[in-house]
Chains A and B, each alone.
Chain A
């Protein structure tokens, strides 16, 4: 999928406005990123309501941390890193509540549904780091440089993990069909 990438000048302006406490600018950031953030959170948490809670928490943390953001990494990478941390926190919290179900909601309807279900099942079985890189690259459309920045890994590692993810997924899909 195509990823909206604001040019660095407009992004810098938006970040400065957010830093000044301009909630209109912050809402604009939300509008640009919330959909993809929900998708990532849903991928990590498997529940829409939890995903929305994680996104809400992420935006709150982003707002609080804005003053300390100096652009060492890109704004977008920084935001998604915060989101992923929120999801991990939510996941850890949920593990301490055994009564909560960890089931996935599958609502996508397309001709690829059986293949998508197989792919999801296979994804659940591979290394979590490889899975995250696969998701960010293949599903959310991030570049390796962006993934490296979000996950705080070298760009080369992102490429390698994507290859390993696809190699393992292929093997698992073949086994499931055999």
Chain B
């Protein structure tokens, strides 16, 4: 496009056209003057800023602030925390399904009741699998929080989780060799529950901080 005098006004509004306007103004005294006036307004305007010292102003602001209550802290729910809460709810729901299927630990079971039937075992294993998956999700959230801190408490939690994972792995190996043993299944459930509580504690502490 060949830049003409009539395009100048548009160029003053659209900065992208300014290089063409300047090029044109080299040979056009009218447009050159117009551009100069425009730039001169900016130059003069930059000197309009009013500055003065107000040594008392911060003191006044501070005194007003001192009379104010502290700003309320609004907790922002980050997505990891929300995932954690959702996972915790899922675990609670899974546990509610799983626990009634297990023999009550406080009541000594009869020898023949200590062994699960095929149908009951299937249900227990399904519930356990779902419970373990839910705990795994919760574990991802909580462990990502633990990794971000070097606090001694965090180190203690990490250690406890390692111990629990090790105990769960060991007991699962034993359960695999004796899948119909309700007592072992109950012990495994108790370990999972312990891990769940630990993870929830970590998240609750994180929320408080």
Are A35 and B51 in contact, with the CB atoms below 8 A?
yes
Produce 1/0 per residue, B45-67, CB < 8 A to A.
11111111010011011101100
In the bound complex, CA of A55 to CA of B42 (Å): 26
Q: A176 in the interface, Cβ–Cβ < 8 Å? A: no
Produce 1/0 per residue, A145-160, CB < 8 A to B.
0000000000000011
What residues of chain A lie closer than 8 Å to B15, measured between beta carbons? Answer: 159
Produce 1/0 per residue, A109-138, CB < 8 A to B.
010100110011000000000000011001
Q: A26 in the interface, Cβ–Cβ < 8 Å? A: yes
Are B74 and A134 in contact, with the CB atoms below 8 A?
no
Are A138 and B50 in contact, with the CB atoms below 8 A?
no
| Chain B contact patch, size range | 20 to 34
Are A119 and B45 in contact, with the CB atoms below 8 A?
yes
Q: B13 in the interface, Cβ–Cβ < 8 Å? A: yes
Q: A43 in the interface, Cβ–Cβ < 8 Å? A: yes
Are A30 and B73 in contact, with the CB atoms below 8 A?
no
What residues of chain B lie closer than 8 Å to A34, measured between beta carbons? Answer: 54, 57-58
Are B65 and A52 in contact, with the CB atoms below 8 A?
no
Most buried by A among B42, B46, B61, B70: B61
| Chain A contact patch, size range | 35 or more
A60-B65, A119-B48 as given contacts; A30 in contact with B58, CB under 8 Å: yes
Are A68 and B74 in contact, with the CB atoms below 8 A?
yes
Are A112 and B47 in contact, with the CB atoms below 8 A?
yes
In the bound complex, CA of A21 to CA of B62 (Å): 12
Q: B41 in the interface, Cβ–Cβ < 8 Å? A: yes
Q: A48 in the interface, Cβ–Cβ < 8 Å? A: yes
Q: B205 in the interface, Cβ–Cβ < 8 Å? A: no
Are A48 and B71 in contact, with the CB atoms below 8 A?
no
Are B44 and A52 in contact, with the CB atoms below 8 A?
no
Are A1 and B46 in contact, with the CB atoms below 8 A?
yes
Are A38 and B52 in contact, with the CB atoms below 8 A?
yes
Are A30 and B61 in contact, with the CB atoms below 8 A?
yes
A48-B52, A166-B12 as given contacts; A56 in contact with B70, CB under 8 Å: no
* Chain A residues within CB distance 8 Å of chain B: 1, 18-21, 23, 26-27, 30, 34-35, 38-39, 42-43, 48, 52, 55-56, 59-60, 63-64, 66-68, 70, 107-108, 110, 112, 115-116, 119-120, 134-135, 138-140, 159-160, 163, 166-167, 169-170, 173
